[in-house]
Structure 1
Amino acid sequence: MSNTTPNPTAEHSRTFLIGTRRSALATTQTSHVRAAMLAAGYQAELHLVHTPGDASQAAQTPVAQIGVGVFTETLRKALEAGECDVAVHSFKDLPTAPDPRFRTVVPRRVDPREVLVSRNGEALLELPQGAKVGTSAPRRVSQIRAVRPDLELMPLRGNIDTRMGRTEKDLDAVVLARAGLERVGQLDRAAESIDPSTIMPAPAQGALSVEVRADDDAAWQAVSHLDHLPSHMAAVAERAVLSTLEAGCTAPVAAYSLWTEREDTADSAPEQHVLRVFGGVFAMDGSRKLVQVGEATFDIPSPTSDKGFPAAEEPRWQEYIDAARAIGTDIGKKLLKDGAAEIVAEAD
């Protein structure tokens, strides 16, 4: 989260309600947002919102069956109706289409890689022949089949503990987002963090989207200092790949980003950092993959800094966001030229 602290004003007397799902992961990541708001002098409380996705997880209903956005739309409706003032989402779960009802900031992102939790501590390439691995995401299924076609891939739903618990019952391993384990303090359960060249993560994985109503200036002021511009830029670039391909979050599409320092920058010049973005589309049977890369250089302070580049204060904030989005859009167009639409259609 940002270390930038706004000056106290009369608006600090308002208590902002932060909407969250009931799961341990959702309440934990929302609590991090609340703590950052409190540290900045704002009053905030968690507000629990029940979503259809909670019931579907209990019933082990596949995501493709209940529809894209089931975990986020109920929160958004509660926010729009004024039931809460702030909503915290996993950014990767949001629809890619812009929504004029809301404004969003992205706190500092955590590691976007996938992890493998296995019964005996083996890594993905070390699992025994024919091992049963739990994952329901087409993006993961397609990439696992490419590197381990011998594995038996099994449907997987539920919260983090439920998923990991399957390794003590009927599964040899499960694939999860590292960010979730990190946020709930169970990263030690992971046998490995999987290299993105083996399994590329979901676009914007590891990033949160903190939303407020577009017309609620007080709520915007209360959260805008949380924005970490390099994290926001990377997440937006990755999501632009998905958007350009017109694919939903359950499609076999992946993306990730790396920030590096430009080495040829003169000592007297502003800091120069390169955002390199990778986008990929994968056939469900593991037989084919398309990968494209794009990059651009930006004159911003180090992306590893905790500095938040507040959205309400940085005059070039929107310019940076738009430029990052353009990288992902270009990658998406290149993938389409390579035949990505056909691969995505075959996965439906």
Structure 2
Amino acid sequence: MSTTAPIRLGTRRSALAQAQSGHVAEALSAIAGRPVELVPIVSEGDTNRASLSEIGGTGIFANLLREALVAGKCDILVHSLKDLPTAMPPELVIAATPARVDARDVVITRDGTPLHELRTGSAIGTGAPRRIAQVRRRAPHAKVVDIRGNVDSRLARVESGDLDAVILAAAGLSRLGSESTLHREELGLAEWPTAPGQGALAVETTVDAPAELLAALAELEDEDTRLAITVERAILAGLDVGCQAPMAAHAVVSGDSVRVRAVVYEPNGEGRIGLDVTESLNRGYIRRNGSGNEANAADGADPMRTARDIGDSAAHRLLEQGAADFLPRE
């Protein structure tokens, strides 16, 4: 790759995908000193309008983009991390996880009525099995409408009165800079945890990408975000389900520890199995060397491996409590 040629960034064609890719492109261009051009690619998730709960979500937004990357049609990809399968193709690598933004879900309504206070029979739009189960727990008197479509089309259905509310990701609204007269209710992560990786992006490239490109991408990396999403995705992998399962996992890194909240829901919302734990990440341990003059990281300290182990352990604990009974097998 020429050191002056544009870096080709593959992205889905949706407004949200183009917006978040644009943010990465701007930051990467400043780091690399090279232009970054967007290469629109159609994914299966953009063309298949069936319900996510029917077609499954594993790879539906990523597979065709990855094929384009491997074929050399682009140099990097930007994904919403929550859409990525946990199994990585051997020829690809997540080269950067920029700092995560707001991971919460929000309820959008016309008049600001909280979700749990919406009148009986209110129509609430969402297509994600996790959100469907959460709505059925928070507002069992409401009617869930399984919807697909971009953010603007979902907001329009509330504005028109076709729906009384929709559930959206705060991160998507923020990245789009969406302006609307509709009301927002932010849902706290303690009571309403979200999908593994929600609010985070993944910048993906090939394992044999040029060293200068990998070095530039490395400067986009946020370690706390990487550690948190590593825990969350290890939980998802340990449960052996796709990213559209009725489960939530959110991790928050603080210094050398990480707090993990994970919940698996019964699809109808009646049952739930969860955990809330705080664990050490093994990244803050420092020991003196023999001279007593220099500080070095403790031998064998690997916070990323520790993060994977924490997530795997959390998944096993959920399964021991019976979570498998609530999960579809793929």
Same fold (TM over 0.5): yes
Is the counterpart of residue 327 in structure 1 residue 310 in structure 2? yes
Residue 82 (structure 1) aligns with? 72
Q: Tell me if structure 1 keeps the 8 A contact 2:103–2:169.
A: yes
The reply to whether residue 212 of structure 1 matches residue 216 of structure 2 is no
Q: Which stretch has the larger CA shift, 136-145 or 333-342?
A: 136-145
Distance 1:285-1:66 versus aligned 2 partners, 3 A rule: closer
Distance in 1 of aligned mates of 2:149 and 2:195: 18
Q: C-alpha displacement at 1:171, in angstroms?
A: 0.3
Q: Is the 8 A contact 1:143 1:198 kept in 2?
A: no
Q: Which amino acid aligns with 2:204?
A: E
1:281-318: CA deviation from partner (whole Å, max 9, x where unpaired): 001122111111333334769xxxxxxxxxxxx9x9x9
- Return the TM-score normalized by structure 1: 0.84
Aligned with 2:8 (options 12, 17, 32): 17
2:259 is aligned with 1:276: yes
In structure 2, the residue matched to 1:64 is: 53
Deviation at 1:129, TM superposition (A): 2.2
Stretch moving more, 80-89 or 136-145: 136-145
State the AA in 2 paired with 1:109: R
The partner residue of 1:122 within 113, 119, 131 is 113
Out of 101, 109, 125, which is 1:110 matched to?
Answer: 101
- Give 1:222 deviation, angstroms: 2.5
Deviations 1:92-142 (A, max 9, x none): 101111322111110000011100111222221232222110011111111
Task: Give the conservation status (yes or no) of the 8 Å contact 1:130–1:151.
Answer: yes
Q: 1:294 touches 1:328 (CA, 8 Å); kept in 2?
A: no
Distance of 1:257 and 1:73 partners within structure 2: 26
> Is the 8 Å Cα contact of residues 42 and 222 (structure 1) preserved in structure 2?
no
Structure-2 separation of matches of 1:247 and 1:29: 27
Q: What does 1:21-100 align with in structure 2 at a 5 Å threshold?
A: 21-43=12-34, 44-56=36-48, 60-67=49-56, 68-100=58-90
Q: Which runs of 4+ in 1 moved over 4 A?
A: 187-190, 298-301
- Asked whether the equivalents of residues 240 and 328 of structure 1 are also in contact (C-alpha less than 8 Å), the reply is yes
Q: Distance in 1 between matches of 2:145 and 2:251?
A: 29
Q: Does the Cα contact within 8 Å between 2:121 and 2:143 map onto a contact in 1?
A: yes
Aligned amino acid, residue 86 of structure 2: T
The one-letter code sitting in structure 2 at the alignment partner of 1:62 is: S
CA distance in 2, matches of 1:293, 1:187: 35
1:226 aligns with 2:220: yes
Q: Which structure 1 residue ranges, 5 or more long, are not aligned? A: 1-9, 261-271, 302-313
Residue among 196, 199, 203 paired with 1:203: 196
Contact 2:190 2:261 in 1 (8 A): no
1:137-152 correspondence runs (5 A): 137-152=128-143
Report the secondary structure of 1:37's partner residue.
Answer: helix
Whether 1:180 and 2:163 are equivalent positions in the alignment is no
Determine the C-alpha separation between the residues in 1 that align with 2:189 and 2:171.
14
Q: After alignment, is 287-296 or 200-209 more displaced?
A: 287-296
Distance 2:130 2:107 in 1: 15
User: In the aligned structure 2, how far is the partner of 1:102 from the partner of 1:337?
Assistant: 33
Q: Deviations over 1:213-271 (max 9, x none)?
A: 001133322211101010011111111111100011111111112233xxxxxxxxxxx
Task: Describe the SS at the equivalent of 1:191.
Answer: strand
**What is the deviation of 1:167?**
0.4
CA RMSD for the aligned pairs?
2.4
Contiguous gaps of at least 5 residues in structure 2: 285-296
> Hey, what's the Cα distance between the residues in 2 that align with 1:150 and 1:250?
24
- Deviation of the 1:65 alpha carbon: 3.5
**Where does residue 336 of structure 1 map in the other structure?**
319
Match of 2:237?
243
Q: TM-score, normalised by structure 2?
A: 0.88
Identity of aligned residues (%): 38
